[in-house]
Structure formats: structure tokens, C-alpha cells
């Protein structure tokens, strides 16, 4: 451990975050592996909890529009964005989160076409 910030000891590796209510949350990881047009579950639903995206990266093998949703075909978290072949996105670590699912709903990626989209996502659940 090194340093002191607001009375909380911190280290160099971030594997846990504090929730706004003071709960210590484990950072979790999931692969992004979608290739079918339409919905693909990336993180399964957790009863009564929301999934908060804290970072992600992905690459598309062909031109495709990618949209992140709360629930299969549900509420849009990250509006559809079009990517060219070999395009992708990196959302760096954001402890406040890039978006969250509705409590009790899965995290879904929706593709406009049958194109391989691969990467990883880091998230917390609370």
C-alpha cells in the first residue's frame, strides 16, 4: 500500500471500489464475444442489483453499429455508434461508471449485423 487520500489507504492495483453508500465492491471482468446480429448477453442479470460499466475495450472485424442496453432489447445505456472494419472503442477506467443497467437486468450488446465484436468489460455490481 502507498499513500493516503481522505483517510483511506490506497494501492496501485484497483480491484475494488467503494460504492456511494460505502460498500466495498469487487471489480469484475467479462469477455465481449458477439458475432450475431441483434442481442448478445455480456453480463448476466443480478437480482436487485445494477451492473455499472467502469471500463471496456472492443474491436469490430467489419462495419457495424454497436449499442449497449439494459436488458435484452431494453433501455439504451450507450447509444448506437457505427464503427468501420477494424474499428472499435476504448472507455478508460471511470470509477463513476460509463453507464448502468436497471436493477435486476442483464447487460446486453446489440449489433446491427453479423460481425465479430471482441474485447473485454470491467464492471461492478451494486
Q: What is the pTM of this model?
A: 0.83
Lookup: cell for 67: 449499442
Q: Give the whole-angstrom CA distance, residue 52 versus residue 68.
A: 12
Residue 72 predicted with pLDDT over 70 = yes
Return the C-alpha cell found at 34.
Answer: 458477439
Residue 14 above 90 pLDDT?
no
- The structural architecture, per CATH, of the domain 27-125 is Sandwich (2.60)
Kindly report, residue by residue over 19-59, the tens digit of the pLDDT.
777 778 889 999 999 999 999 999 999 999 999 999 999 99
Per-domain residue ranges for the chain?
27-125
Which pLDDT tens digit goes with each residue over 79-103? 899 999 999 999 999 888 899 999 9
CA distances from 96 to 31, 42, 119 (A): 21, 20, 21
Query: From CA 5, how far away is CA 77, in angstroms rounded?
Result: 31
- Distance, in Å, from the CA atom of 41 to the CA atom of 36, rounded to the nearest integer, reads 11
Q: Provide the pLDDT for residue 73.
A: 77
Amino acid at each position: 500500500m502507498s499513500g493516503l487520500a481522505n483517510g483511506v489507504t490506497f494501492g496501485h492495483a484497483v480491484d475494488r471500489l467503494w460504492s456511494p453508500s460505502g460498500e466495498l465492491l469487487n471489480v469484475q471482468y467479462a469477455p465481449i464475444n458477439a458475432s450475431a446480429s441483434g442481442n448478445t448477453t455480456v453480463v448476466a442479470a443480478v437480482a436487485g442489483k445494477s451492473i455499472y460499466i467502469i471500463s471496456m475495450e472492443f474491436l469490430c472485424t467489419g462495419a457495424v453499429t454497436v449499442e449497449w442496453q439494459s436488458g435484452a432489447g431494453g433501455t439504451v445505456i450507450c447509444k448506437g455508434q457505427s464503427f468501420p472494419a477494424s474499428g472499435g472503442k476504448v472507455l478508460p477506467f471511470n470509477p463513476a461508471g460509463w453507464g448502468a443497467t436497471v436493477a435486476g437486468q442483464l447487460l446486453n450488446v446489440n449489433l446491427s449485423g453479423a460481425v465479430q465484436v471482441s474485447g473485454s468489460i470491467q464492471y461492478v455490481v451494486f
